[in-house]
Amino acid sequence: MTLESGMKLKNYGRIKFSMINDKYYLDIGKATDLENPRERATYRALEILPGALVWITLIGMVVFSWIKPIWVAYFIIAFCVYWLLRVTHFSIHLVAAYKKMRKHLNIDWLQELADLPDHNWKDIYHLIILPAISPGIFWG
């Protein structure tokens, strides 16, 4: 199979991947990218799993509140404690990052560059690469 760009795809066992890139899993964006029906079903099941777990949790709390209300109470308390710990952890790191940012705002970066021992700071380049492709390559 050849893409519009002239790049050839190789059928390697169960999965097509670019001859340039041996990491075939980087080219898989949806279940239909897989050729094997069993792999496609597994991929789709793993796509559905997070949403299904959310629905099972919400419906399970309502159903089990009549069947086993004590279990639901423990589950809700444990869930709230878990999220309290996550929010606390996030808040601590947010405050630490804010303090670090405020400290770095007060640094004279030009002086830091001038203090570099072996390099002229004008020879140091900051390069930002933003790759862009034609959508027709993958979705054509």
Give tens-digit pLDDT for 115-124. Answer: 878 777 777 7
- Which tokens is 46 given? 């793993």
- Which tokens is 18 given? 């670019």
Which has more pLDDT, 136 or 37? 37
9 contacts 15 by C-beta, under 8 angstroms:
no
**pLDDT given at position 123:** 77
pLDDT tens readout for residues 104-117:
999 998 888 788 78
Nearest to 31 by CA among 19, 42, 23: 42
Which has more pLDDT, 95 or 37? 95
Tell me the C-alpha to C-alpha distance, in Å, between residue 5 and each of 19, 54, 66, 134, 140. 13, 41, 60, 9, 11
Rounded to 10°, the helix 37-67/69-105 angle is 120
14 contacts 39 by C-beta, under 8 angstroms:
yes
Cα–Cα distance between 45 and 139 in angstroms, integer? 23
Whole-model pTM over 0.85: no
Q: Which helix (H) or strand (E) holds 129?
A: none
Reply yes or no on whether the pLDDT at 134 is more than 80.
no
